[in-house]
């Protein structure tokens, strides 16, 4: 089992390897495997990349992303400008059913809501927004329309897990409660926990996921 000091060193090392991230702008604190990232960056994409890099480090059990995004005067955008840019981005992306998604922007914070047919459509919407200049944070609460019965959803997820090279299906229990998929059990890294959630979203009929997987060494 890694010590908190070892995890901190590995996180800093991983951040240093990211071409779009200046590790000197980011503070790293670790307590019992829980990593807290702090600091200020001038682009939302840098915040995302720093968090992704941290999740790849073995021994990280949870991540608290407290990095603040502050754009310089040359890159500051009004909420109206951000909203118009998002609408235009959605219109150009064939994967995004823009008529089904509601967009709200307040002080650079973007809220996406509505209901779509596929998890890939929800993910595409968030991916499109994160590349918009001026965006400080994204709250993606778009829901997925349920198209198959709950008992079939469980079978679908189990099949997808079985064929995933990044997920150890043996340690994961799948429960369906109403329209919610609950993942329980133990995994070996935060990356595997996140991959399990992403993989579950690939299954047809998944509406919402509660990821309660525990990370153990």
- Note whether residue 31 is domain-resident: yes
Report pLDDT for 148.
Answer: 61
pLDDT in tens, 167-212: 777 888 888 876 678 888 888 888 888 888 887 876 666 667 888 8
How much is the pLDDT for 31? 92
> Looking at the domain assignment, is residue 155 inside a domain?
yes
- Is residue 74, in this structure, part of any structural domain at all? no
Task: Say if residue 88 is in the same domain as residue 110.
Answer: yes
- 61 and 90, same domain (yes or no): no
Same domain, 58 and 101: no
187 with 158: CB under 8 angstroms? no
Does 209 map to a domain?
Answer: yes
Cα–Cα distance measured from residue 45 to residue 61, given in angstroms and rounded to the nearest whole number = 23
Residue bearing the bigger pLDDT, 179 or 8: 8
In a domain, 207, yes or no: yes
161 and 199 assigned to the same domain: yes
Residue 170: its pLDDT value, please? 80
Tell me the mean pLDDT in the region 37-56: 89
% of the chain residues with pLDDT over 70: 91
Domain count, the chain: 3
Between CA 22 and CA 43 the distance in angstroms is: 11
- Check whether residue 160 and residue 211 sit in a common domain: yes
Q: Which residues are CB-neighbours of 59 under 8 A, at least 6 positions away?
A: 1, 2, 6, 7, 10, 33, 189, 217
- Output the average pLDDT for the chain: 85
Under 8 Å between Cβ of 102 and 74:
no
Is residue 123 a part of any domain in this protein? yes
Q: Which of 103-107, 122-126, 166-170 has the lowest mean pLDDT?
A: 166-170
Same-domain check for residues 200 and 172? yes
Q: Do residues 140 and 154 both lie within one domain?
A: no
Q: Report yes or no on 159 lying in a domain.
A: yes
> Among the three residues 25, 51, 69, which one is the final residue of a domain in this structure?
69
Most confident range (mean pLDDT) of 65-74, 133-142, 192-201 is: 133-142
Give the pLDDT score at 98.
Answer: 92
pLDDT band at 215 (very low <50, low <70, confident <90, very high): confident
Q: Name the band, by pLDDT with cuts 50, 70 and 90, for residue 111.
A: very high
Between residues 29 and 21, the one the model is more confident about: 29
CATH number of 175's domain: 3.30.1340.30
Same domain, 90 and 34: no
pLDDT of 150: 60
Residue where one domain finishes, among candidates 18, 46, 69: 69
Give mean pLDDT, residues 53-82: 85
Residue that wins the pLDDT comparison between 166 and 125: 125
* Same domain as 185, residue 160: yes
Cβ contact 79:105 at 8 Å: yes
Q: Pick the last residue of a domain from 69, 94, 121.
A: 69
Q: 208 and 163 in one domain?
A: yes
Q: In terms of residue numbers, what domain contains 196?
A: 150-215
Q: Give the pLDDT of residue 120.
A: 82
Q: Give pLDDT, residue 172.
A: 85
């Amino acid at each position: 089992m890694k010590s908190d000091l070892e995890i901190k060193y590995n996180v800093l090392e991983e951040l240093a390897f990211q071409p779009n991230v200046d590790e000197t702008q980011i503070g790293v604190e670790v307590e019992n495997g829980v990593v807290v990232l702090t600091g200020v960056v001038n682009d939302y994409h840098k915040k995302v990349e720093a968090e992704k890099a941290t999740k790849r480090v073995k021994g990280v059990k949870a991540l608290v992303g407290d990095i603040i995004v502050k754009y310089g005067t040359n890159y500051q955008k009004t909420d109206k400008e951000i909203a118009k840019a998002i609408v235009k981005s959605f219109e150009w992306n064939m994967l995004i059913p823009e008529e089904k998604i509601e967009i709200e922007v307040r002080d650079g914070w973007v809220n996406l809501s509505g209901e779509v047919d596929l998890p890939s459509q929800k993910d595409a919407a968030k991916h499109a927004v994160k590349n918009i200049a001026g965006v400080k944070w994204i709250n993606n609460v778009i829901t997925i329309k349920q198209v198959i019965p709950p008992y079939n959803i469980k079978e679908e997820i189990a099949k997808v897990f079985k064929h995933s090279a990044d997920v150890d299906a043996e340690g994961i229990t799948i429960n369906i409660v109403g329209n919610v998929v609950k993942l329980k059990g133990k995994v070996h890294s935060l990356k595997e926990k996140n991959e399990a959630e992403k993989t579950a979203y690939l299954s047809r009929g998944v509406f919402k996921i509660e990821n309660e997987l525990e990370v153990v060494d």
